[in-house]
């Protein structure tokens, strides 16, 4: 470096020296260095160039710098930075003598090197770091390259420590991913591990993100250590365990019975669920666990891990905080679910979503008065996926709000083209209330289309009210003020129906189809219950629609009851908007009978 002696003496870097310094700290993961003079006093910090040193800073690291000046030997230390601010998780701190052209020691440079990605470093046995660091020191401060390599090789103790750390996850002390596979293969080759009898246990911490978001990453790291300690405390000499990354762990147990595996998992879940005190706070967490045991002899470890991961996926679907054992049937189920989820995610891009419409019939004159908009989804082969299958998956995948808004928009745009006496009814998912902007969305779509609010009916299930009452109360009131009609769908399937009827301003009850299916029973219990529901609805000034009508016998049974509207396959299956034209005609010989178009019942869900 030009004028090196002047820099060490004054601590003031020239423009040319600053350029060299800035370049030096970009080499070999060097993130900082300090410069000491011949009296072991600090004169410069690389990331504080141009700033005066704080009082007392010149005595910083005086002991190590003085030792290097006295002995001429470099000092290299491996440090854990997880508990320090502005430090990598693992870094090297090296004190190296700076010599003049005559070979005299004129100062010391202290170099900080980030070694968090230890796996790359250790594959070259620490030699690459020595070369890179040596290059920086040689290029910037004139230290003889060969001499520096010799000094590095003298750090045998440090190298052994580094080698140990390279095999471990530094947060939990468990093996890391690479070492886990290595140890498993070694055990298999030595005959200590028979995969046909082994159990692969995938462990996932359920609420790590919530802990990180609420209490900070320090708390999250402490909880991960808690999980690692819990796993370590339950292992035997025949077990292997590793942290795969993030909040995922794996246990490979060589020879435990099914009962012993179950006991291991339950003990682990119980231990992890114990409160952990972090900075005065008591945090608790739970685990989801997937297990694969035995299986085909030719399955590799990665195959078995994949199947354990499938079981873990199912545990999460069941609400987390549980464990699931893999079965072939489960694999088919999850594969189907993933296929459906992929169809949903790619639904808009591939034009696979459709809105079909099912007619609603006025009992008094048997004429069509409106249509319910029903979402349909095709797979890649053009086959329809049942709504009962894809809608819950869309909700779990977080796609239902976007899809629901699209259905609402399509239904409103379509209804505007109908004669004014027809209304459209649209189902609203509980998830669509979560953002709190449903009222604004509905109002915006109505204004953009010019559809009269009275021609839009929104259906809300009892379960939506039970699960999300606090989130939707104000929005239901707001929707009523907009002027749309509110219908309680699937009435009779929940537990709090009567309370909701007078609490909210519903305009209609839609009686669940289960009541209709039992109308043909020999006793009249179902008919009496249905009659009571209809009477109750009317007393509360609500209209009543009976769903699921499929046969003429059901129509006859309902003819003596005073329900207001019918809906079901007997009057029409859900169909694309382009097929609705006959329902708008009221001329003789138009294909209509009594003002409606009857189609043959179709034995499939009408939801």
DSSP of 468-496: HHHHHHHHHHHHHHHT-EEEEEEETSSS-
Per-residue burial over 260-299, b = 16 or more CB atoms within 10 Å of its CB, e = otherwise: ebeebbeebbebbeeebebeeeebebebbbbbbbebeeeb
| Residue 543, CA distances (Å) to 3, 161, 217, 395, 547 in order | 94, 78, 54, 30, 13
Cα(379)–Cα(339) distance, integer angstroms: 9
* pLDDT band per the 50, 70, 90 thresholds, residue 86: low
| Residue 262, CA distances (Å) to 244, 288, 324, 479 in order | 22, 14, 10, 51
pLDDT at residue 142, as a whole number: 46
Phi, psi angle pair for 111, to nearest 5°: -110, 135
Name the residue with tokens 């005299």: 104
| Residue 342, CA distances (Å) to 133, 298, 335, 407 in order | 48, 30, 11, 19
Name the residue with tokens 């899809």: 403
HSE (side-chain half, CA atoms, 13 Å) at 281: 13
Cα of first residue to Cα of last residue in the chain, in angstroms, is: 79
Q: Which two tokens stand for residue 80?
A: 């854990």
Q: What is the CATH number of domain 4-166?
A: 3.30.450.20
Least confident of 38-47, 237-246, 462-471, 561-570: 462-471
Cα(510)–Cα(461) distance, integer angstroms: 9
The answer for residues whose C-beta is within 8 angstroms of residue 288's C-beta and 6 or more apart is: 203, 204, 206, 312, 315, 316, 320, 321, 322, 323
pLDDT in tens, 12-54: 666 666 656 555 544 445 677 788 888 888 888 876 665 666 6
Mean pLDDT of 262-281: 90
> CATH for 177-326, among 3.30.420.40, 3.30.70.270, 3.40.50.300, 1.10.150.120?
3.30.70.270
Q: Are 286 and 269 in contact (CB under 8 A)?
A: yes
DSSP strand E in 88-238: where? Answer: 90-99, 105-114, 199-205
The answer for residues whose C-beta is within 8 angstroms of residue 329's C-beta and 6 or more apart is: none
Of 529, 551, 531, the closest CA to residue 539 belongs to 531
Cα(562)–Cα(256) distance, integer angstroms: 66
Q: Are 133 and 141 in contact (CB under 8 A)?
A: no
Cα(165)–Cα(337) distance, integer angstroms: 40
Between these two residues, 204 and 25, which has the higher pLDDT value? 204
Cα(95)–Cα(483) distance, integer angstroms: 77
User: What is the rounded average pLDDT for all residues in the chain?
Assistant: 81
DSSP annotation of 54 reads: P
Q: Which two tokens stand for residue 393?
A: 């998956």
Per-residue burial over 562-576, b = 16 or more CB atoms within 10 Å of its CB, e = otherwise: ebbbbbbbbbbbbbe
Mean pLDDT of 134-138: 49
pLDDT at residue 600, as a whole number: 39
pLDDT in tens, 516-558: 877 766 667 878 888 888 998 899 899 999 999 998 888 888 8
* pLDDT band per the 50, 70, 90 thresholds, residue 226: very high
Report the percentage of the chain scoring pLDDT > 90.
43
Domain extents in the chain: 4-166, 177-326, 339-584
Name the CATH superfamily for 339-584.
EAL domain (3.20.20.450)
At residue 185, does pLDDT exceed 50? yes
At residue 412, does pLDDT exceed 80? yes
């Amino acid at each position: 470096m030009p004028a090196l002696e002047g820099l060490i003496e004054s601590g003031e870097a020239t423009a040319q020296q600053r350029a060299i310094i800035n370049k030096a700290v970009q080499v070999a993961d060097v993130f900082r260095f300090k410069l000491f003079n011949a009296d072991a006093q600090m004169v410069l910090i690389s990331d504080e160039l141009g700033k005066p040193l704080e009082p007392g800073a010149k005595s910083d690291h005086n002991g190590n710098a003085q030792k290097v000046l006295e002995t001429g030997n470099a000092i290299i230390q491996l440090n854990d930075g997880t508990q320090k601010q502005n430090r990598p998780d693992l870094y090297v701190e090296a004190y190296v003598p700076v010599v003049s052209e005559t070979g005299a020691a004129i100062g010391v440079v202290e170099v900080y090197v980030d070694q968090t990605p230890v796996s790359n470093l250790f594959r070259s046995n620490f030699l690459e770091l020595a070369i890179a660091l040596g290059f920086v020191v040689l290029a910037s401060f004139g230290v003889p390259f060969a001499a520096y390599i010799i000094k590095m090789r003298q750090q045998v103790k440090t190298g052994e420590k580094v080698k140990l750390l390279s095999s471990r996850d530094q947060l939990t002390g468990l093996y890391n991913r690479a070492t886990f596979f290595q140890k498993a293969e070694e055990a298999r080759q030595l005959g200590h591990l028979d995969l046909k009898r082994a159990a692969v246990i995938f462990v996932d911490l359920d609420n790590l993100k919530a802990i990180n978001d609420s209490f900070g990453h320090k708390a999250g790291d402490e909880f991960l250590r808690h999980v690692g300690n819990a796993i370590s405390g339950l292992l035997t000499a025949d077990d292997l365990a590793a942290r795969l990354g993030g909040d995922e762990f794996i246990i490979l147990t060589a020879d435990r019975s099914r009962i012993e595996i179950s006991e291991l998992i339950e003990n682990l879940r119980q231990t992890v669920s114990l409160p952990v005190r972090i900075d005065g706070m008591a945090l608790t967490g739970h685990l989801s666990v997937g297990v694969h045991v035995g299986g085909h002899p030719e399955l590799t470890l990665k195959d078995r891990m994949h199947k354990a991961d499938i079981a873990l996926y199912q545990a999460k679907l069941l609400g987390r905080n549980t464990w699931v054992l893999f079965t072939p049937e489960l694999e088919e189920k999850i594969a189907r679910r993933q296929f459906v989820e992929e169809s949903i995610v790619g639904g808009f891009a591939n034009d696979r979503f459709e809105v079909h419409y099912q007619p609603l019939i006025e009992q008094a004159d048997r004429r069509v008065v409106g249509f319910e908009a029903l979402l349909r989804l095709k797979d890649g082969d053009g086959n329809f996926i049942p709504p009962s299958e894809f809608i819950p998956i869309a909700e779990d995948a977080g796609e239902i709000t976007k899809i629901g808004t699209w259905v609402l928009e399509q239904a409103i745009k379509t209804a505007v083209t109908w004669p004014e006496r027809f209304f459209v009814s649209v189902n609203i998912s509980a998830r669509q209330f979560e953002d709190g902007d449903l009222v604004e969305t509905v109002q915006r779509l109505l204004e953009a289309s010019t559809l009269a609010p009275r021609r839009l009916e929104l259906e809300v299930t009892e379960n939506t009210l039970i699960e999300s009452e606090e989130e939707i109360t104000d929005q239901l009131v707001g929707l009523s003020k907009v002027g749309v009609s509110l219908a309680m769908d699937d009435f009779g399937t929940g537990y709090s129906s009567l309370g909701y009827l007078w609490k909210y301003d519903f305009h209609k009850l839609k009686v669940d189809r289960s009541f209709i299916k039992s109308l043909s029973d020999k006793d009249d219990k179902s008919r009496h219950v249905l009659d009571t529901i209809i009477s109750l609805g009317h007393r509360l000034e609500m209209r009543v629609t009976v769903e699921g009508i499929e046969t003429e016998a059901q129509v006859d049974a309902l003819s003596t009851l005073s329900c207001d509207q019918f809906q079901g396959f007997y009057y029409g299956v859900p169909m694309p908007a382009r097929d609705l034209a006959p329902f708008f005609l009221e001329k003789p010989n138009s294909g209509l009978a009594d003002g409606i178009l009857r189609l043959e019942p179709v034995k499939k869900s009408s939801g």
